[in-house]
Amino acid sequence: MRRKDATPQAALQRAPHVRIYERADALSVIDDRGLLRRLSGASAAVARDLLEQLRVPREPRELLSGIAGKRRRLASEILTMLKAAGVVVEPAHLARPGIARSSAESARVVLALTGGVVAAHAPALTEMLLGRGLRVRVAATPSALRFVSALALEALTHEPVVRSRWPSDTRNMVPHLELARWADVVVVYPATATTLSRIARGDCSSIVSALAISARAPVILVPAMNVAMFDAPSVQRNLAQLRQDGFVIVHPSLGYEVAAAPSERTLGYGAAPTVQSVALVTEAVLAERANGS
């Protein structure tokens, strides 16, 4: 009599973000490397069924138990493909990095926006931080609000966007000091060359520079500018000074200079990293702070 294999298998679940689209009877999956895999007919039907069942964690053995013959083999192959494409994952992979929080509230992030075009991505970054269980408040310079709507940010955070260093009521604390006291981390996004210069020199003339200088929580600076500005000796001196002063400096990425016409843009170093990268850095800095490192 053959002994039944009782070895437990790791459960799988549909990933929270997938790149799948359908047309007619075909189902197309774009994997983590950007490669397209297209299924049609019976293969697409099996994939749809597996994805529907994997809204909740299930062991592969459980998924395949009611399927027989060639269709079972097909389902096993498709499940392997979906896992390789990052469409289904082990539930443990969905866990967020550990951040020490009190039972009453989550870690608190102040997102400080300045006047670079990357500020247009602030709602996506805000939503990503909120989705990771963090509390978010926003401060913004007038120049930043040329690129992004304060209303959009307030709709996401349910908090007013702080735009001035002066309180609306003289009985209230100065806004940048109140935010500095509230924050577990401050993220300056983007950190323009002008903002870097202000913070390095101790110039509190803007709400963002005043906040960054006043904060005793970690301050993350996310530089974003064209390569000529980023490589300028003055900017590099400021970055070196800020690093020495204890600010967290995020490395920029390759990106396009939007001042050029779309057809004339070339890649250059100095662009802001993706909002996903900024969110991960924010979580890592919070985790380090919670661990006392």
How does pLDDT run across 78-110, given as a tens digit for each residue?
999 999 999 999 886 555 554 444 433 589 999
Does the bond joining 273 to the residue before it have cis omega, within 30 degrees of 0?
Answer: no
Contact criterion met (CB below 8 Å) for 207 and 176? yes
51 shares its domain with 126: no
Q: According to the model, what pLDDT value does residue 103 have?
A: 33
Cα separation, 248 vs 211, whole angstroms = 15
The C-alpha atoms of residue 270 and residue 45 are separated, in whole angstroms, by 45
In this structure, what are the phi and psi dihedrals at residue 188, rounded to the nearest 5 degrees?
-90, 115
CATH of the domain at 63: 3.90.930
Residue 4 resides in a domain? no
pLDDT at 258: 77
Task: Answer yes or no: do 85 and 204 share one domain.
Answer: no
Is residue 131 domain-shared with residue 40, that is, in the same domain?
no
Q: Judge contact between 197 and 236, C-beta under 8 A.
A: no
DSSP string, 121-155: GHHHHHHHHHHTT-EEEEEE-TTGGGTS-HHHHHH
Judgement on whether residues 38 and 156 belong to the same structural domain of the protein: no
**Nearest of 204, 288, 193 to residue 246 by alpha carbon:** 288
Looking only at the bridges linking them, the beta strands covering 248-249 and 219-223 are: parallel
Decide which of 59, 93, 127 is a domain's last residue: 93
The pLDDT value given to residue 68? 81
| Residues of the chain predicted below pLDDT 70 | 1-8, 92-105, 167-172, 293
**Number of domains present in the structure of the chain:** 2
CATH code of the domain in which 121 resides = 3.40.50.1950
Residue position matching structure tokens 């309180």 = 167
Within 10 angstroms of residue 3's Cβ, the number of other Cβ atoms is: 5
**149, 250: one domain:** yes
Which residues span the domain enclosing 66? 13-93
Of the residues 39, 60, 93, which one is the last residue of a structural domain? 93
Which of 41, 173, 59, 172 is closest to 50 using CA atoms? Answer: 59
Q: What span, in angstroms and rounded, lies between the C-alpha atoms of 12 and 55?
A: 9
**Beta pairing, strands 135-140 & 108-113:** parallel
* pLDDT at residue 79, as a whole number: 93
**Rg of the chain on CA atoms, in Å:** 24
Residue 125 located in a structural domain: yes
Q: Name which of 279, 285, 282 is nearest 17 in CA terms.
A: 279
Task: Kindly state whether residue 102 falls inside one of the protein's structural domains.
Answer: no
Dihedral of the alpha carbons of 218, 222, 223, 226, in degrees to the nearest 10: 180
Same domain, 113 and 88: no
Residue 52 resides in a domain = yes
- Are 18 and 119 part of one and the same domain? no
- Residues 224 and 159 both lie in one domain: yes
101 within domain boundaries: no
Q: What is the pLDDT of residues 201-231, one digit of tens each?
A: 999 999 999 999 999 999 999 999 988 899 9
- Reference 75, options 61, 57, 96, 93; nearest CA is 61
Residue 139, Cβ density class (10 Å: 0-12 exposed, 13-18 middle, ≥19 buried) = buried
Looking at the structure, do residues 143 and 227 belong to the same domain, yes or no?
yes
Question: Quick check: is 285 in a domain?
Answer: yes
